[in-house]
Structure 1
Amino acid sequence: MAIQNSITLSVDVEDGINIAMRDVFGKEMPPTERVVANTERILDLLEGYNAKATFFTLGQVAEYYPDLIKKIHSKGHEIGVHGYDHHRFDKMAPELARSQLSRAKELLEDLTGEEVAGHRAPAFSINEQTKWALPLLAELGFRYDSSIMPCRAAHYGWPGFPDDVTEIHFSDGNSIYEIPMSTMRLGSRKVPCLGGSYFRLLPYRISQYSIDKISKRNTPVFYMHPYETDPERYPDYYFDELNKVSTVLRLKMKSMWIGRKNFPDKMEKMLRQNETMTMVETS
Structure 2
Amino acid sequence: MKNIFSIDIESWVHFYIDSLKIKPAAITGSARRELDNSYIADAIEKILDLLDEYRQQATFFVVAEIYDWYPDVIKEIAKRGHEIGYHTHSHLVLQNKEILERELEKSKDFIAAFQPVGFRAPQIYIQNDSFAVLKQYGFKYSSSTYDSYRVMDINGVAEIPVSALSFRQRNNSSQKLPKQLTAKLLWKKIPFGSGLFIALFGSKTSYFIDKI
Which bin holds the TM-score, normalised by the shorter protein?
A: 0.7 to 0.9
Q: Which residue of 2 aligns with 1:122?
A: 122
Aligned-pair CA distance for 1:133: 0.7
Distance in 2, matches of 1:117 and 1:164, equals: 19
SS of structure 1 residue aligned to 2:110: helix
Q: Partner residue of 2:176? A: none
2:74 alignment partner in structure 1 = 69
Corresponding residue of 1:108: 110
**Structure 2 equivalent of residue 19 of structure 1:** 14
User: How far does residue 203 in structure 1 lie from its aligned partner after superposition?
Assistant: 4.8
What RMSD, in angstroms, separates the aligned Cα atoms of the two structures?
1.9
Partner of 1:134: 131
In structure 2, what is the Cα distance between the partners aligned to 1:64 and 1:103? 14
Q: Say yes or no: does 1:182 pair with 2:184.
A: no
Q: Following the alignment from structure 1 to structure 2, what is the Cα–Cα distance between the partners of residues 203 and 163?
A: 21
CA offsets per residue over residues 176-221 of structure 1, 9 Å max, x none? Answer: 111111111234422211231111112522x00111112xxxxxxx
What does residue 39 of structure 2 align with?
34
Q: Does structure 2 conserve the Cα–Cα contact (< 8 Å) formed by 1:66 and 1:111?
A: no
Alpha-carbon shift at residue 20 of structure 1 (Å):
3.6
Work out the CA distance in 1 between the residues paired with 2:5 and 2:40.
18
Which blocks of at least 5 consecutive residues in structure 2 are unaligned?
Answer: 170-187
Aligned partners of 2:10 and 2:40 also within 8 Å: yes
SS state at 1:194 partner: coil
Give distance in 1, aligned partners of 2:48 and 2:158.
Answer: 27
Contact 2:18–2:92 at 8 Å: present in 1 too? Answer: no
What displacement does 1:140 show?
1.5
Report the equivalent of 1:213.
211
- Between the aligned partners of 2:103 and 2:211, the Cα distance in structure 1 is 37
TM-score of the superposed pair, with normalisation by structure 2: 0.79
Residues 1:80 and 2:77 are matched in the alignment: no
Task: Give the number of aligned pairs.
Answer: 184
Structure 1 gap segments, 5+ residues each:
151-161, 215-283
The equivalent residue for 1:269 is none
Q: What SS does the aligned partner of 1:52 have? A: coil
The reply to whether residue 60 of structure 1 matches residue 60 of structure 2 is: no
Provide the rounded CA distance (Å) in 2 between the counterparts of 1:48 and 1:21. 32
Contact 1:56/1:120, CA 8 A, preserved across alignment:
yes
Aligned to 2:97: 94
The superposition leaves residues 215-251 of structure 1 with CA deviations (integer Å, 9 ceiling, x where unpaired) of xxxxxxxxxxxxxxxxxxxxxxxxxxxxxxxxxxxxx
In the alignment, what sits opposite 2:3?
A: 7
Counterpart code for 1:94 = K
Work out the CA distance in 2 between the residues paired with 1:147 and 1:132: 13
Which residue of the other structure, out of 153, 165, 168, is the alignment partner of 1:167?
153
Aligned-pair identity in percent equals 30
Tell me, what secondary structure is at the counterpart of 2:3? strand
Aligned residue for 1:36, secondary structure, equals helix
SS at match of 2:92: coil
Match for 1:41: what amino acid? K
Matched, 1:143 2:140: yes
Q: Equivalent residue of 1:8, what SS?
A: coil
Counterpart AA for 1:212 = D
**Structure 1 runs (4+) greater than 4 angstroms displaced:** none
Amino acid in the other structure paired with 1:96: I
Q: Which residue identity lines up with residue 8 of structure 1 in the other structure?
A: I
Measured after TM superposition, the shift of residue 102 of structure 1 is 3.7
